[in-house]
Structure formats: C-alpha cells, structure tokens
Amino acid sequence: ELKVEQNPLFLSMQEGKNYTIYCNYSTTSDRLYWYRQDPGKSLESLFVLLSNGAVKQEGRLMASLDTKARLSTLHITAAVHDLSATYFCAVDPNTGKLIFGQGTTLQVKP
C-alpha cells in the first residue's frame, strides 16, 4: 500500500525565515504534486514535478523531486504571512488515484 508522509505536520515560523517541508513516499512514482489549501477553502495546485531531479520555483516557494530517494521537498524562502496555509503533497502511482500526504500546516508570524 502506498504511503505518503509529510513532515513536519505543523510549522510555526517567523517572517523572513527559511524552512523546508519534506514529503516521503513508499512506492515508485514519477509524478508528484504540491497543493495549497487555505482554511475552509479548496485546494490550489502549486507544482507538478514530473521527473527525477525536477525543480520548480514560484515566488518564495521552490519544490524538488528525487525519485530515487522517493523524496520531495518544498522550500520556503523568507516567509511572509500570506504563505500561511496547509500544504499537501500528493503522489500518483500510475493507478489513477492521487494519494495525499497528511498535510503540513504552516503558520507564519510577524
């Protein structure tokens, strides 16, 4: 059974600091997705990582994928309050199903 594990599950950080969220998964997959969810809202697609070594950046967020280590990271640079949200990684193991991690709730304090 595919497992997708994120850590940390909760992250409180100061504005201006850097931090990394980790996403480990237990089976082979060439596709990994990062989504953002604000409280009470839907999921917003952030990144799609399609191959080993893929790196994508948007603003203060950068995501990378290492398929050999079965690890993706979401790096936050110089955090701002607007980045406060829950971040999910999700893996498609070529079964037609998207398997989500538990989510990381990020709280950025002034």
Which positions touch other proteins (CB under 8 A)? 31, 33, 35, 40-45, 48, 88, 92, 94, 96-98, 100-103, 105
DSSP percent split of the chain into helix, strand, coil, nearest 5: 5, 55, 45
Q: Based on CB atoms, which residue is closest to other proteins, 13 or 48?
A: 48
Q: Based on CB atoms, which residue is closest to other proteins, 66 or 92?
A: 92
Asked if residues 56 and 63 have their Cβ atoms less than 8 Å apart, the reply is yes
Q: Based on CB atoms, which residue is closest to other proteins, 8 or 16?
A: 8
* 60 beta partners: none
Nearest to 24 by CA among 8, 10, 40: 8
The distance of closest approach from Cβ of residue 43 to other proteins in the complex, given in angstroms and rounded to an integer, is 4
